[in-house]
Amino acid sequence: MSDRIFGGIGLVLAIFFGIQATMIEVAFMSDAVGPSVFPIIVATIMGLASIYFLVKPDPAPDWPQAGRLAEIGFAVLVLFAYAQLLPVLGFVVATMFAAGYLAWRLGSKPVEAVLVGIGTSVGIYVVFRLILGLSLARGPLGF
């Protein structure tokens, strides 16, 4: 039953996300693909995964303990804070903190988590900004 609830909520969110993606305004000078293609792809994958949960739910799902649920909830709060701090701190700094924290909570040792945060942040910046030329949030340091 819980898988079907999860699938139903996911499907509603995917449809909403897909509709919102089609409403993205295209600037005069835009790339050939357009800004709405990637969100539509994400919405489609999310919708298909949600349909799977609706059609074939797990008969006996294994729910995490309360402490683990609280940790998942805190990870969601970290991602929400990441979205809020992205325009303030910039992509590199905000991503470094978020990726580092999530790596630590997924089992990395603290020093490894810091290195993962830095590596993830700089790696994504190099690929998306320097190689592909896409714009990312600039912080007070200019990157």
Instruction: Dig out the tokens for 32 from the structure.
Output: 């050939």
Radius of gyration of the CA atoms of the chain, in A: 18
Model-level pTM? 0.66
Which one, of 60, 57, 61, lies nearest residue 49 by Cα?
57
pLDDT digits (tens, 9 = 90+) for 29-40: 666 667 778 889
Range of the domain at 121: 66-131
Residue 134 predicted with pLDDT over 90: no
Please check whether residues 81 and 32 belong to one and the same domain: no
Alpha helices in the chain (DSSP H): 2-22, 37-55, 66-89, 91-105, 110-125
Question: What is the rounded CA–CA span in Å between residue 55 and residue 113?
Answer: 38
Please check whether residues 91 and 46 belong to one and the same domain: no
Other Cβ atoms less than 10 A from the Cβ of 56: the count is 11
The answer to whether 3 and 61 have CB atoms below 8 angstroms apart is yes
Structurally, the chain folds into a number of domains equal to 2
Please check whether residues 81 and 100 belong to one and the same domain: yes
